Structure 1
Amino acid sequence: MNRPVMNHQHLRTLVRLTFGNAASLIYLGVVAATAVFVTVDTLFVAHEDASFAGVWLFFLAAPTVFLFFVGGSLWGAESGGPAWFFYLALVVSVLLQSLALGWFVRLVRGTTGRGRTARPQGA
């Protein structure tokens, strides 16, 4: 019997883990606020030297963003890569970390995907 790799229930669970808990939403809010700060600093603030405001986005997306950059360099991307790869790696890294936070919250709470408390076998 062939089962689809990703069915509707699996997708719903991934979305719930990524966006449906307080820890993930706080993390995504901090990332969004930092992105707004970096954008305003880049567009509207004059600096004599380069601004390091963008480094905060990397701190928030670390360590997964660096895995994307290492993977891109192994595939032969030049030393900075194209801009679309830079932004895509940043967005995917943040979403992966939000998913990991949601999974960790579910693990700590001890609940399964259906809201029931997980119990050991035979208990």
Structure 2
Amino acid sequence: MASGLLTTLARLTFGNRASQIYLGLVAVTTAFVTIDTLFVDHQDASFAGVWLFFLAAPTIFVFFIGGELLGGTFADSAAFVYPALVLSVLIQAAALGGFVRLFRDRPGRPSRPREA
């Protein structure tokens, strides 16, 4: 039973075009932020990392609020921020998959036979 739930979650998260495009956009942005952080010299701080948080919004803010409730110093640590960022992206990819499934399997929509 648990493997069926995990399979369903994996299909929702990775098994549709909308989620794949979203995760690809996150991967490209992560590569951009990594290259900008490691190899580009800036006079001031770079705001490249903000793009990752824009892509992870609004669920990342739920994690930040929860982290502040646990303790401010823990919520500011990298041990909290990076896993929260990854989890929020995966939750949003699963939500996109759920919306795709919801709109694809609507009642009242005429079904088309799939071509082989």
Deviation (angstroms), 1:23: 0.3
Tell me the percent identity.
64
Residues 65-102 of structure 1 show CA distances to partners (whole Å, capped at 9, x for unaligned) of 01101100011232852211100000000000000000
The match for 1:114 is none
The alignment of Structure 1 onto Structure 2 pairs a total of residues equal to 108
| 1:102 is aligned to 2:97 | yes
Q: Deviations over 1:89-122 (max 9, x none)?
A: 00000000000000000000016xxxxxx57xxx
1:86 aligned to 2:53?
A: no
> What TM-score do the two structures reach when normalised by structure 1?
0.83
Q: Secondary structure at the match of 2:97?
A: helix
* Gapped regions of structure 1 (runs ≥ 5): 1-5, 112-117
* Root-mean-square deviation over aligned CA pairs: 1.5
Unaligned runs of 5+ in 2: 109-116
Contact 2:12 2:97 in 1 (8 A): yes
Cα distance in 2 for partners of 1:24, 1:18 equals: 6
Q: In the alignment, what sits opposite 2:26? A: 31
The aligned residue for residue 21 of structure 1 is 16
Distance 1:79 1:11, change over 3 A: closer
- 1:44 and 1:76 map into 2 onto residues whose CA distance is 33
Q: SS of the counterpart of 1:78?
A: helix
CA distance in 2, matches of 1:21, 1:67: 25
